[in-house]
Amino acid sequence: MTAPPLARRHPVTILVTTGLLVLGTSETAVAQTRTLEVDDLRLEVGLTSPVLSPDGRHAVIGTSTPNYEDNRFDQTLVLVEIATGEQRELTPHRPAAGAPRWSPTGEHLAFTDAAEEGEARQVFMLPLGPGEAQQVTMAPDGVVAFDWTADGSQILYTTPDPAVEREGEERHNRSFEVGDNSYLASEAARSSHLWRVAATGGEAERLTEGAENISGFLVSPEGRYVALGVGALPHSGQRIWTTIRLLDLGSGQATEFVSQGPASPQAFSPDGRYLAYSRPRGPEPGFNPDGIFVKPVRGGDEVYVTPQIDRDFGGVAWLPDGETLLVSGTDLTARAFWVQPMGEAPERLDLGDIHPGGAAVSTNGVVVFTGRENHRPSELYAMQASEWAPRRLTSLNDVIAGMDLGAVETVVWDGPDGFEQNGVLVYPPGYQEGRQYPLVLSIHGGPMGASLESFATFNQIMAARGWLVFSPNYRGSSTQGKAFQSAVINDAGEGPGRDVMSGVRVLKERGIVDESRVAVSGWSYGGYMTAWLTAHYDGWAAAMAGAAVTDWFDWYSMADMNTWAGYGLGGSPWLNDNAANYWEQSPMAYAHRIRTPTLILSDRGDERVTVSQSYKLYHALKDNGVEVQFIVYPVPGHFPADPVHRRDVRRRWIDWIAEHFDRVSATSN
């Protein structure tokens, strides 16, 4: 196999590095004799994106560890010294602290938390020296987003408008206009607006008004402007359609900066001259990759900065020269950084086996980011701009990294319709040449998701059961540019199905697959692909369809993003003859063909993929005599947010596949 363009092929190794373990478990090392199990989910420490102190000497990260007894993820803000990696917990008694922001002087750290459990989140200010955190905001409905003003004297924040209170007999009337909201909406959509308050607390001042919704904001370095992400309405189906407006904090005047949406502000340049923002590279948002654009704050034309990088981006930071961007994105089966000078060719950085998230950059060129390696969960890394030699600062996930993990390989093949395809294969620990192994497809969602070589906890847990775990990047994935990502438009299942099956065929041709034990599984669009593949292809021993899109009519009419689906399906289903198009691309149209034993999992309060679609799939399979089990989690969200239900999802997923693989083995014997 030859290496794919723009990507490096990594040798498959397991790197064990010693370090200081300050959080997570009391265990300090695990010899490579034990494999990963579902119950080991309790060992993984999750990290949030870091924020850098103004002098570049310290970073603050948020850590998250599962607490099964109280069924929550305990969060802690941790101060990390860049030079030594020394760490100190800042909020040991605040298990919900998050969203840290340094003051401009570096003497204080602001963060969000609830004053009491169950209350709305507010902004608190913590001195980095002696002292306790003090509450700053008193927003009745909580703080959505916040930041410091440039001089450190005030806090800017967004909060939802209060609900309309009716009086007299009408106080019992709870009717409301729905608009483009999800089917779970229980009140009229409320806009969020920008406020400011003294950093020491006190009475807050409202800065924006109207029906428009402020989805996010950035403060310019010199403190004059705030870049606002503005939506015409607060309805969930309108969230993607944001424009950018500049608010002058001195005069209170707001001017349009980018009027043609959708566009999202990303970062002001260090001198405040430019604003970088992202915008889709095509008329169908999401189905086309985002590009990065730059425009002078005080007037001038926009510049498309990244035309030579045909990838989708996930983060933008300015380097200290104010003329160069550090952008992160997905490149085939890797996460990558590119150094992108304005008007010049980009340089893709060589970070070895590290797959970076978004970066924070100080004025003296210190760069910090969280990342994953092929055989290590998230850690914090630092490097100096221009040198680009990353150092790992934390060892929070040494226990998992020290286990006996499966080798990871990028598989490349010539796919259908002229695309060069790729996917990630995880081998079972102790893999032996010449043997055949059961194969489990673990299909990513989106469809704009990505299967990467970076450490994937659940895929490693499944591989430890003695299975090959294959995660293909089908068309629509955000892995190899505009042509590939947009190819899913009006081809939701047929083309991606051919992509996936061509990859399965390549693995079978290697002679490593036990073809009597092949399972297909996935969540969200991965669940859609599971239902589609079992309805169109034979040879599956088992299937798991989690939060599966099965009926595009339900998505368009009821989901939180609702009408967004129309960009991928030729417009509204209720115009012209497009209803037939929606049905032809819905797995429910073919569910009567499915014969694979199928486990269905779904959250009852899922706004993204309505549970109604799982009910339809269940009844279609049951009525046709197919073995099916349908489990519902009575929780909100597209995936359970609590550790107990997350673990249950993983257990049921694995147990269902294992049970049906065992049946095949028993029959063959």
CA 230 to chain centre: 22
CATH of the domain at 536: 3.40.50.1820
Residues in contact with 466: Cβ distance below 8 Å, sequence separation at least 6, in sequence order? 428, 437, 438
- Assign 103 to helix, strand or coil: coil
Q: What is the pLDDT of residue 260?
A: 85
Nearest to 258 by CA among 245, 270, 274, 271: 245
Q: Are 195 and 146 in contact (CB under 8 A)?
A: no
The CA distance from 208 to 254, in Å, is: 9
3-state helix, strand and coil shares in percent for the chain, rounded to the nearest 5? 20, 35, 45
Count of C-beta atoms within a 10 Å radius of residue 418 = 8
When pLDDT is cut at 50, 70 and 90, the band that residue 23 belongs to is: very low
Q: Are 19 and 395 in contact (CB under 8 A)?
A: yes
Of 22-31, 177-186, 566-575, give the lowest mean pLDDT range: 22-31
Query: Checking phi first, is residue 639 left (phi over 0); if not, alpha (psi -120 to 50) or beta?
Result: beta
234-261 pLDDT tens trace = 998 888 889 999 999 999 999 999 988 8
Nearest to 342 by CA among 388, 280, 274, 257: 274
Strands 313-318 and 303-304: unpaired
Tokens in use for 382? 């630092």
Count of C-beta atoms within a 10 Å radius of residue 91 = 22
Query: What is the rounded average pLDDT of the residues 661-665?
Result: 92
Question: Which strand (E) or helix (H) includes residue 509?
Answer: helix 494-509
538 in any annotated domain: yes
Q: What is the pLDDT of residue 32?
A: 58
Residues in contact with 510: Cβ distance below 8 Å, sequence separation at least 6, in sequence order? none
Alpha helix (H) residue ranges in 172-300: none
Helices 525-536, 494-509: crossing angle, 10 deg rounding: 70
Res. 46: pLDDT tops 90: yes
- Assign 201 to helix, strand or coil: coil
81 in any annotated domain: no
138 in any annotated domain: no
Q: Are 76 and 91 in contact (CB under 8 A)?
A: yes
Domain that holds residue 613: 407-668
**Helix (DSSP H) and strand (DSSP E) numbers for the chain:** 9, 37
Residue with the larger pLDDT of the pair 6 and 63:
63
Which residue in this structure is represented by tokens 């047929």?
494
296-321 pLDDT tens trace = 999 899 999 999 999 999 899 999 99
CA 580 to chain centre: 32
Tokens in use for 553? 């009519």
Q: What is the pLDDT of residue 17?
A: 28
Domain count, the chain: 1
Strands 154-160 and 376-384: unpaired
Strands 391-392 and 408-414: unpaired
Res. 15: pLDDT tops 80: no
> Is the Cα torsion angle 303, 308, 312, 314 positive or negative in sign?
negative
Q: Are 654 and 38 in contact (CB under 8 A)?
A: yes
61 in any annotated domain: no
> Is the Cα torsion angle 222, 224, 226, 227 positive or negative in sign?
negative
Nearest to 325 by CA among 344, 297, 351: 344
Average pLDDT, the chain: 92
% of the chain at pLDDT higher than 90: 89
Q: What is the pLDDT of residue 31?
A: 45
% of the chain at pLDDT higher than 70: 95
Question: Which strand (E) or helix (H) includes residue 629?
Answer: strand 628-636
Q: What is the pLDDT of residue 219?
A: 97
When pLDDT is cut at 50, 70 and 90, the band that residue 667 belongs to is: confident
> Is the Cα torsion angle 36, 356, 63, 73 positive or negative in sign?
negative
CA angle 594, 595, 601 (to 5 degrees): 70
Query: What is the rounded average pLDDT of the residues 161-188?
Result: 93
Strand ordering across the sheet containing 355-361: 355-361, 366-373, 376-384, 391-392
DSSP class per residue in 370-391: EEEETTEEEEEEEEETTT---E
340-367 pLDDT tens trace = 999 899 999 999 999 999 899 999 999 9
The CA distance from 287 to 550, in Å, is: 19
Nearest to 292 by CA among 272, 320, 311: 311
Count of C-beta atoms within a 10 Å radius of residue 353 = 21
Which residue in this structure is represented by tokens 């850590």?
63
N residues, the chain: 669
Count of C-beta atoms within a 10 Å radius of residue 476 = 27
Buried b / exposed e across 291-307, counting CB within 10 Å, b at 16+?
Answer: bbbbbebeeeebeebbe
One-letter amino acid at 364 equals N
Tokens in use for 75? 């969060």
Res. 287: pLDDT tops 80: yes
649 in any annotated domain: yes
Tokens in use for 324? 């160069």
Q: Are 534 and 522 in contact (CB under 8 A)?
A: no
Q: Are 292 and 275 in contact (CB under 8 A)?
A: no
Tokens in use for 396? 């929070």
> Is the Cα torsion angle 154, 160, 166, 171 positive or negative in sign?
negative
Residue with the larger pLDDT of the pair 25 and 92:
92
610 in any annotated domain: yes
The CA distance from 373 to 536, in Å, is: 36
592 in any annotated domain: yes
383 in any annotated domain: no
